[in-house]
Amino acid sequence: MADFSFLDLEDSVAPKEKVAARTKVINAIRTLDWDERVLCVRVNAWDTRWTYGDVIEVVGGAGERLDEVMLPKVRRASDVVALDLLLSQVEANAGLPIGHIGIEAQIETAEGLINVEEICAASPRLESIVFGPADFAASIGMPVTTIDETIHDAPSNPFSYVFAKILMAGRANGLHVIDGPFLKVRDLDALRRAASISASYGFDGKWALTPDQAIVLNDVYSPSQELFDKSYDILDAYRVATEENLTGAVMFGDEMIDEASAKIANSFVSRGVRAGMKRSS
């Protein structure tokens, strides 16, 4: 199951349907059961004529249940600031608390990547920074027609610089860092390989385009049971070391562990607990 869903007004909607799609999105937010999940709408980018209308209509019409707005093709910090200011006015008119709506910013152009550090610091509304591989490939002139294993299985992953830069900027500002879509939707093995790369950098998750993709991705981005149990064991050993034996570094099997190891272990435990995992007895 997904813990976050977004409804799209951007690239999956035909230009002639852009305005009509707003009403469909508002109705879907209001009438469907979205359980506890974080709910987001992706509006059109500032280089179109639809952004302000998307925000005013959707947040004005369904802002109470909406958690976030996703802004695609963010190129500089002022793109985020402009959305932040507009949201404040829409919230005020809709009787919503100011700051109710968070922002997800998509990095999918060379310019956005160059400016990602200032983008990630542009607004307290920012929740996540999201990599958009398809538009990014188009932006930098990558010779591909889809986003599949041919990119991710290349001898040196051409996105490695991109992943590292986005991850640092996101983490420096306390944001979730998310990988974008994998377009060969039927090839779940290739999806698993591709997702494992951004997961190995420390990304928090990746978009799922189908329920089958969501199953694979939940598996890839959650710690394995073995890792989850080991992390708990490290925390136990570290507590005994620091509180009972009064030592900061201690051997755990063949590994030395210290405060940094405990921080790493803690992040796996938190992720596992959020995913509903239980420690093996």
Residues 6+ apart with CB under 8 A from 240: none
132, 170, 205, 272: residue in contact with ligand GLV (rule CB under 6 A): 132
Site for ligand GLV in 223-262 (CB under 6 A): none
Q: How far is the CB of 68 from Mg ion (least distance, A)?
A: 17
Q: How far is the CB of 93 from ligand GLV (least distance, A)?
A: 29
Other beta carbons less than 10 A from residue 152's beta carbon: 20
Site string for ligand GLV, 177-206 (x = CB under 6 A): ---xx-------------------------
The answer to whether the CB of 42 falls within 8 A of the CB of 8 is yes
**Residue 133 is a binding residue for ligand GLV (CB under 6 A):** yes
**Residue 135 is a binding residue for ligand GLV (CB under 6 A):** yes
Decide whether 127 or 135 has the Cβ nearer to Mg ion: 135
Q: What angle do CA 131, 132, 136 make, to 5 degrees?
A: 110
Site string for Mg ion, 130-149 (x = CB under 5 A): --x--x--------------
Instruction: For the sheet with 176-179, list strands across it.
Output: 4-8, 38-42, 68-71, 102-107, 126-131, 176-179, 205-206
Structure tokens at 35: 């359980």
Q: How far is the CB of 242 from ligand GLV (least distance, A)?
A: 44
* Distance separating alpha carbons of residues 4 and 104, to the nearest angstrom: 12
**Residue 112 is a binding residue for Mg ion (CB under 5 A):** no
Main-chain dihedrals φ then ψ at residue 192, nearest 5 degrees = -60, -45
- Give the closest residue to 218 by CA, choosing from 187, 192, 182, 180: 192
Site for ligand GLV in 78-107 (CB under 6 A): 106
Binding interface with ligand GLV (CB under 6 A)? 72, 106, 108, 132-135, 180-181
